[in-house]
Structure 1
């Protein structure tokens, strides 16, 4: 503990020196300094990415056909690489697309004479086909499985062949010319347009993939507003402005509706905050993005306090430093410095999961279910919420978050297995043949080595010890965790899922049998009755009938207990005064803050001497450090 305290003090002392160094923007560049709460993304290859970290880093370089309107709430799709929204047939199965003709790939040595070429229809089809190749180890095939006419057959044939032929035709993919194409769906899939805004469907050039081979994941070439200049693994990433970026502009001010109402929720507040001051301005507005990695949250928090980061999510252990806990109002010392607070509700799922193929804790017979249900009843989510999240998170039964159809009323179901209920847990252990936990094998638990997650794991270890079950905690880096899941080697694990799009289907697909690891179903849950229901709802439009099916599937997951949960977060962002146009959102993985839009930087340098939240604020060690160290 003393060593950790010494490390924190060292970081603080170093930060104080850096805080009085000359401005890093003396050369006139506009530079954005941002944190990433991890050791970094696993890959910048869209087909290999799956986490929000992969999504965020990829979005600087790559682009999709569609995106979410930056300022609009509720979120609404709009064209990005397209000239207009897709034209859809009356039966909802045929989509026609028109690409912009002014979009070029980055200049790169993979192209003749190093000059990036224009984006064409074939590029999108090639990018989709990469999702079908098992050699790419894609995490995203679930997005296209059983969706496009002939695509599943193409996948099977090419993966059986000696060499994957990207030029082979797919019945449901038709190129009309170099900027127009059609896609024929098997059924009118409601979520299809949402997938076209996800980073996994971003467009990549074939020349770059073939030129760089295995190195492509670290040498991205896209159409986006920034180029990757430097990537120091586990430390930082630097992105620089694309000098040949196409003519994308900052959103125009829509004005009030004719009846005087807002064109979208929160429009008047956006006007007041100056979010339309750059209306019509060519993007990107800034010259460089410095993305810093923080496995531990305290160094990140200190960097923000001395104004070396432009914004940060407030660590739970520091919430009372920045906010009055009773009112959740920003403290005066922060507000007086022009720091702005933005609470953002996440549509997400925090959970523990079982590998249903594990010989000790998986399976579908009653004894195996009773064991998992007992473990679920031992976990105290309320204690976790209080200790690590200041009681700001929502706790609910099942896998469907609060804002989506199928979520239980008031978040609670009387037949769920939410702990703590130790008496009920012990009865289930007796039924399963493990009185007082005797005979239960050691439960091996994989989780990230981040400090707070390690503390959470120790809390859960204590919870399970109360019913006689030993938790063997394996703290690993995030890439090792995802590898263990991909290869089905993690008997028990802790994860979260942030929604890709605003529909409960996105959470229910996590339990669909054909999507087992290495796809999105890390539980490897595979119940035929559930699979049949999923195959029905995935082609249905919103309706009361679909909601009833959602509820049936939710209850099936609760009863079989492949997961323990759930919890959803509200994330509190603090935004430095000099950063303008910043409207954080984390609901959907490619609806992260679009850096090309937010980053109007005032002339105030990032790390000048003067009023800061530094020395005066640390006359004593904050209580959160005590929480961290002891």
Structure 2
């Protein structure tokens, strides 16, 4: 049962680019992170900000047409999005030839091409017990033979990366085929996750326990500098092939997206030469750094300052005069409260648990008495929308017209439910008692 649920809506602020004094001056983007990074070994991280950095360093088989609503999968290092075979248990990919990893001493001066065996190795890394991958679970009970390989490694202390399994078949230099234990038509979405990306075995073995500091991928950027919890610098990967926006991508309905798409059509991406990222966990220093033009982008305007930035929902005149623009984005993030439904908790009776009609009515009344709109307005400063289901905007299955009456704020109905099931004030102290007369 849900007390309240909201989807977060973030306001992003962007400052105008400084006028270049020299035509060849590098384009630099400076921004802050809300929390410090953990590292950049993609199979060993799960925090949003480390993964966000890795998205610029590595590339999955598939990615998203970000402008489509709902978003749809498109190929990235794969040549095409494969069609499910064998009743949804087989997916076969062909990798684009000629994709290169970033240069690294582990390659001993040679250019290193991405091949199918890199995909096999990287998926297996998720299940190697030594890596303690926080996302290892996504491949549990998924690929034929992979669980057995992981179980054997847990017993022996050694993961056999050379072992052939039916679940991951390398057919040739550029072709890899996955055999699932059971049909899964969502499997392709796993392969578009930003940390389900190919890494080179030589790099992982060369750096051992220090792989977080040596991310080497096929993405558009390389890690140039890293001062832990202080500064991250990315620079263009000279080995990256570059790309243009696919003309078949959807025509966005959002005005901001439409302007961005029009501005980028026909241009070779990435346009930015260098990205400087500074973890600043405290809201006020992060906000002031943006106002002082130390940063070009403020990712998620802190709640405490939202009314300064967007009074009455409009950009503050002072910021507008400086050329600052804001973009409001509905993020696929679902925030909710739950009840423990067990009859007892740590040996004591749970007054809201169980499935007796009275307990169900009590929980229902609590939901009806919760004012989500006020929570959004007061606590979240208007930076959220009320969720009508667990499916957020932009995700397949989201219906903007759907309304859940169970989420209505209706105190009279809540009181009527409590009265009907015996939750009334029996002793005149102003508090409702339980149906058997005990205090609530």
Specify the TM-score bucket, using the shorter chain as the normaliser.
0.7 to 0.9
1:318 maps to: 305
Are residues 63 and 25 of structure 1, via their aligned partners in 2, closer, same or farther at CA, if it must alter by over 3 Å? farther
2:197 corresponds to which of 172, 178, 202: 202
How do 1:247-262 and structure 2 match up within 5 A? Answer: 247-254=241-248
- 2:85 corresponds to 1:89: yes
Helix, strand or coil: the match of 1:318?
A: helix
User: d(CA) in 2 for partners of 1:224 and 1:76?
Assistant: 21
Are residues 77 and 396 of structure 1, via their aligned partners in 2, closer, same or farther at CA, if it must alter by over 3 Å? closer
- 2:381 corresponds to 1:390: yes
- 2:41 corresponds to 1:54: no
User: d(CA) in 2 for partners of 1:362 and 1:191?
Assistant: 41
Helix, strand or coil: the match of 1:157?
A: helix
2:237 maps to: 242
Are residues 304 and 187 of structure 1, via their aligned partners in 2, closer, same or farther at CA, if it must alter by over 3 Å? same
- 2:119 corresponds to 1:124: yes
Are residues 339 and 162 of structure 1, via their aligned partners in 2, closer, same or farther at CA, if it must alter by over 3 Å? closer
Are residues 336 and 297 of structure 1, via their aligned partners in 2, closer, same or farther at CA, if it must alter by over 3 Å? same
Q: CA deviation at 1:35?
A: 2.0
Q: Contact 1:175–1:182 (CA<8 Å) still a contact in 2?
A: yes
User: d(CA) in 2 for partners of 1:228 and 1:244?
Assistant: 13
Q: CA deviation at 1:355?
A: 9.6
1:348 corresponds to which of 310, 333, 336: 333
- 2:26 corresponds to 1:29: yes
- 2:77 corresponds to 1:77: no
Q: CA deviation at 1:163?
A: 1.2
Are residues 172 and 363 of structure 1, via their aligned partners in 2, closer, same or farther at CA, if it must alter by over 3 Å? farther
User: d(CA) in 1 for partners of 2:207 and 2:262?
Assistant: 41
Q: CA deviation at 1:238?
A: 0.7
Q: Contact 1:355–1:362 (CA<8 Å) still a contact in 2?
A: no
1:625 maps to: none
User: d(CA) in 2 for partners of 1:151 and 1:172?
Assistant: 7
Q: CA deviation at 1:190?
A: 2.0
Are residues 417 and 136 of structure 1, via their aligned partners in 2, closer, same or farther at CA, if it must alter by over 3 Å? farther
How do 1:52-201 and structure 2 match up within 5 A? Answer: 52-89=48-85, 91-113=87-109, 115-201=110-196
Are residues 85 and 43 of structure 1, via their aligned partners in 2, closer, same or farther at CA, if it must alter by over 3 Å? same
2:252 maps to: 265
Helix, strand or coil: the match of 1:200?
A: coil
Are residues 383 and 73 of structure 1, via their aligned partners in 2, closer, same or farther at CA, if it must alter by over 3 Å? closer
Q: Contact 1:397–1:416 (CA<8 Å) still a contact in 2?
A: no
1:335 corresponds to which of 294, 316, 320: 320
User: d(CA) in 1 for partners of 2:396 and 2:437?
Assistant: 38
Q: Contact 1:34–1:311 (CA<8 Å) still a contact in 2?
A: yes
Q: Contact 1:356–1:363 (CA<8 Å) still a contact in 2?
A: no
Q: Contact 2:82–2:93 (CA<8 Å) still a contact in 1?
A: yes
How do 1:491-530 and structure 2 match up within 5 A? Answer: none
Are residues 431 and 189 of structure 1, via their aligned partners in 2, closer, same or farther at CA, if it must alter by over 3 Å? farther
Are residues 168 and 63 of structure 1, via their aligned partners in 2, closer, same or farther at CA, if it must alter by over 3 Å? same
Are residues 249 and 162 of structure 1, via their aligned partners in 2, closer, same or farther at CA, if it must alter by over 3 Å? closer
Q: Contact 2:341–2:353 (CA<8 Å) still a contact in 1?
A: no
1:413 maps to: 406
Q: CA deviation at 1:192?
A: 1.0
User: d(CA) in 2 for partners of 1:392 and 1:173?
Assistant: 44
User: d(CA) in 2 for partners of 1:118 and 1:152?
Assistant: 29
Higher relative contact order (CA 8 A, sep 6+): 2
Helix, strand or coil: the match of 1:47?
A: helix
Q: Which runs of 5+ in 2 are unaligned?
A: 1-17, 425-431
Q: CA deviation at 1:291?
A: 0.8
Residues 267-287 of structure 1: per-residue CA shift (max 9 Å, x gap)? 87655x253344343332221
Q: CA deviation at 1:366?
A: 7.8
User: d(CA) in 1 for partners of 2:256 and 2:398?
Assistant: 31
Helix, strand or coil: the match of 1:413?
A: helix
Residues 496-520 of structure 1: per-residue CA shift (max 9 Å, x gap)? xxxxxxxxxxxxxxxxxxxxxxxxx
Q: Contact 2:388–2:407 (CA<8 Å) still a contact in 1?
A: no
Q: Contact 1:67–1:80 (CA<8 Å) still a contact in 2?
A: yes
Helix, strand or coil: the match of 1:343?
A: strand
User: d(CA) in 2 for partners of 1:287 and 1:278?
Assistant: 16
User: d(CA) in 2 for partners of 1:392 and 1:29?
Assistant: 35
User: d(CA) in 1 for partners of 2:120 and 2:348?
Assistant: 39
Q: Compare 129-138 and 83-92 and name the one that shifted more.
A: 83-92
Are residues 347 and 387 of structure 1, via their aligned partners in 2, closer, same or farther at CA, if it must alter by over 3 Å? same
User: d(CA) in 1 for partners of 2:85 and 2:41?
Assistant: 32
TM-score by length of 1: 0.55
Q: Contact 1:249–1:280 (CA<8 Å) still a contact in 2?
A: no
Q: Contact 2:150–2:159 (CA<8 Å) still a contact in 1?
A: no
Residues 387-418 of structure 1: per-residue CA shift (max 9 Å, x gap)? 33223423447754466649895345279999
Helix, strand or coil: the match of 1:142?
A: helix
Q: Which has the larger radius of gyration?
A: 2
Residues 116-172 of structure 1: per-residue CA shift (max 9 Å, x gap)? 411111111111001112221111123222222222233223322231111112212
Q: Contact 1:250–1:280 (CA<8 Å) still a contact in 2?
A: yes
1:530 maps to: none
Are residues 28 and 180 of structure 1, via their aligned partners in 2, closer, same or farther at CA, if it must alter by over 3 Å? same
Q: Contact 1:396–1:412 (CA<8 Å) still a contact in 2?
A: no
User: d(CA) in 2 for partners of 1:307 and 1:215?
Assistant: 34
How do 1:360-375 and structure 2 match up within 5 A? Answer: 360=345
